Structure 1
Amino acid sequence: MIGTLENASLLDDADELASMVVHSSLYAEYMASKQSVDRDEHVQQLIGKFLQVRERYDEVQRFGRYHPDYKSVIKKMMECKRELDTHPLIADYKKHEKQLSDLLGELSMVLARAVSESIKVPNGDPFFERSCGTGCGSGGKCGCHS
């Protein structure tokens, strides 16, 4: 990339936009909830427990339902995930994380559309939101159009 005044100006504008996001109330709320999660001992124990179970789950998934501990590990994984997801601090963190992600997706869409209508943006683009989210590869039989 040739260093021109125009390129430097674009980089300065990008830095300014990033600074605006970092100084937004959404970012402040996200960081506050993240710090609450990081400081809470009980939540950290839940996360540690979940990571241990997930490691076992990944091991079992290699063999699928033929693994002798398949059902018990799957059940344990779902229980740990539910316990983690329903904790108020985690729920609050995930809510703020989604709000920030949505904002960044909207920014991506605005930037892409300013360049061209044909640019595909996976974040916040209604075209991509029609998917079932599983990447099922059924060719749309499930209705997800992926």
Structure 2
Amino acid sequence: MLKLNAVTTTDIVSESLNLAEMIVQSQQFKQYEAAKTALRSDIEAQEMIWNFNKRKDEYEEVQRFGKYHPDYSRVSKEVRELKRKIDLCEPVALFKKSEKDLETLLNDVSLIIAHAVSKTIKVPTGNPFFDSMSCSGGCGTGGKCGCK
């Protein structure tokens, strides 16, 4: 007969809350919150984002007709230039970096939890190194494709 560990649902919930608190106290989360606040309070960055979203709506309308739309080239160029300008804006760049760092932390925690249960659990991390260790899930071959 299979013997189960005496882990209760209450224990799991308690440990989950402890883990969540550790994540909230992490340097990555604190940097993310600070970068988000800085981005929201930067008027110039917010204006650029607002202008980009306005142009993006126009771009989506032009995309319906593709290169046959009379404003296709102009609108496509303007959207690319605005996107580049936003990406180079310091508050936006810092926010994106802190967001990526927090995502990496959460992906790592997810992998640790999943692999503590079973090494065969597939965890979509967005990280090509870890995702290459499997077929990215759902192959249905039972491992015949070489996934682990």
TM-score over 0.5 for the pair: yes
Which residue of the other structure, out of 124, 127, 131, is the alignment partner of 1:128?
131
Q: Name the aligned partner's letter for residue 95 of structure 1.
A: K
Q: Report how far residue 84 of structure 1 moved.
A: 0.3
Relative to the length of structure 2, the TM-score reads 0.79
Q: Name the aligned partner's letter for residue 91 of structure 1.
A: A
The separation in 2 between residues aligned to 1:55 and 1:67, in whole angstroms, is 15
Alpha carbon RMSD of aligned pairs, Å?
1.7
1:108 corresponds to 2:129: no
Overall identity of the aligned pairs, in %: 38
The separation in 2 between residues aligned to 1:99 and 1:127, in whole angstroms, is 16
Corresponding residue of 1:140: none
Corresponding residue of 2:34: 32
5 Å matches for 1:29-108?
A: 29-108=31-110
Are the aligned partners of 1:26 and 1:99 in contact in 2 as well (CA < 8 Å)? yes
Kindly provide the CA deviation profile for residues 25-46 of structure 1, in whole angstroms up to 9, marking residues without a partner as x.
1111111111010001101101
Distance 1:112 1:69, change over 3 A: same
Q: Name the aligned partner's letter for residue 119 of structure 2.
A: E
Q: Name the aligned partner's letter for residue 39 of structure 1.
A: S
Note the residue ranges of structure 2 that are not aligned, 5 or more in a row: 1-6, 134-148
Corresponding residue of 1:142: none
Relative to the length of structure 1, the TM-score reads 0.80
Kindly provide the CA deviation profile for residues 7-62 of structure 1, in whole angstroms up to 9, marking residues without a partner as x.
12111111111111111111111111110100011011011011111111122222
Higher radius of gyration, 1 or 2: 2
The separation in 2 between residues aligned to 1:88 and 1:59, in whole angstroms, is 30
The separation in 1 between residues aligned to 2:44 and 2:30, in whole angstroms, is 23
The separation in 1 between residues aligned to 2:98 and 2:74, in whole angstroms, is 33
1:118 corresponds to 2:120: yes
Q: Report how far residue 105 of structure 1 moved.
A: 0.6
Q: Report how far residue 6 of structure 1 moved.
A: 1.1
**Secondary structure, aligned partner of 2:8:** helix
The separation in 1 between residues aligned to 2:74 and 2:98, in whole angstroms, is 33
